[in-house]
Amino acid sequence: MAALTSRRRLPRLGKASPIRPRYLPTLLVLPAFVVLLAITIFPLLFTATLTVLSWELTTNAPARFVALGNFATVLFEDSRFWNAMRNTAVLVVVGVGLQVILGTGLALLVNRVRRGRTLIVSLLLIPVMIAPVVAGFQFRMIYNDQSGPLNYLIGLLTGGLWHGTAWLADPSVALISILLADVWQWTPFMILIVLAGLQAIPEEIHEAALVDGATPRQQATHITLPLIVPVIVIGILVRMMDTFKLFDIVYQLTAGGPGSTTETIAYYTYLQGFKYFSLGYTAAMAFIQLAVITIVARVFLGYQKRTQNRGSL
């Protein structure tokens, strides 16, 4: 079904080509360029100017120039910001880690299925295609401590010794509950792309190894693993970037609570901007997030460039 990226180098109409049109290349790209420029560069510049202002829409006080004051406050005085950063880091490291481990394991299993694989993959992929807010709603029902199926199941399995807890209201587990909902939604994504990596390994390599007397274990560690690692890395990078922006599920499940125990950085920024209307402060936080995500994005883009230039991962 799948083949790992193998892009033939295509002859392109170079500058010298007599059939290269003069204006068409620019005209084709222009509309997209203008739209993206207007809607990304404008917010960027606007946000940049906001960062140096103290501008509270909730009061009638005029905007005040504070230079780098907003950044200083965010980074050195706002423990709620660091709390949100830590929560986000837990979701990125532990959550994405779980998705990778579970996803790779399940992909290896599904890869061995001979009949009905398409159906299994289709069914496994349903969580990925669901709106995160709806996924959040599903878990609201499942985690419900009165009539939810999770606590009922726990009661059954422990023979009535433990009846679970209030998964979303208990500060010690609320973040884990969010993490599990996210793992539920995105593990299938990892299954899917690891599976694509596995199926791109040509059968002949395994046959050749078999002829040379390689044991199954040797085949796994010397053939399968090295060949799927690049795909897994791409999966990790995509998931890291998305998890860093995690908002919908938090909004739906806990609204950052209890207290601020489950606030992610995206959710806290939303609160500052759209509940407290601290424009300058929000802009400063937005810029810090931009800086963090740029680092991950650069690695991802580097991978993409390598794919582009070498013809394969």
Amino acid at the residue 81: F
193 binds another protein (CB under 8 A): yes
Minimum distance of another protein from residue 208's CB (angstroms)? 24
Residues 11-70 that bind another protein (CB under 8 A): 11-13, 19-21, 24-29, 31-33, 35-36, 39-40, 42-43, 46-47, 50
CB distance 196 to 235 below 8 Å: no
Q: What is the CA radius of gyration of the chain?
A: 25
Residues 278-307 that bind another protein (CB under 8 A): 279, 282-283, 286-287, 289-290, 293-294, 296-297, 300-301, 303-305, 307
Comparing CB distances to another protein, the nearer of 33 and 65 is 33
Round to whole Å and give the CA distance between 202 and 181. Answer: 35
Minimum distance of another protein from residue 22's CB (angstroms)? 10
**SS3 label, residue 167:** coil
Binding mask 149-178 for another protein (x = CB under 8 A): x--x--------------------------
Round to whole Å and give the CA distance between 88 and 264. Answer: 5
Task: Among 83, 138, 165, 261, indicate the residue that binds another protein (CB under 8 A).
Answer: 138
Minimum distance of another protein from residue 52's CB (angstroms)? 15
128 binds another protein (CB under 8 A): yes
Residue 105: which of 205, 198, 176, 239 has the closest Cα? Answer: 198
Task: Among 90, 184, 209, 223, indicate the residue that binds another protein (CB under 8 A).
Answer: 184
CB distance 187 to 106 below 8 Å: yes
Round to whole Å and give the CA distance between 82 and 87. Answer: 8
Tokens 């905007």 belong to residue: 63
State both tokens at 83. Answer: 């709390």
CB distance 250 to 131 below 8 Å: no
Comparing CB distances to another protein, the nearer of 30 and 208 is 30
Backbone φ/ψ region at 20: left (φ over 0), alpha (ψ -120 to 50), beta: beta
Question: Which range touches another protein (CB under 8 A), out of 62-70, 80-88, 171-179, 264-272?
Answer: 264-272
Residues 200-239 that bind another protein (CB under 8 A): 231, 234-235, 238
82 binds another protein (CB under 8 A): no
Question: Which range touches another protein (CB under 8 A), out of 61-69, 84-92, 103-111, 208-216?
Answer: 103-111
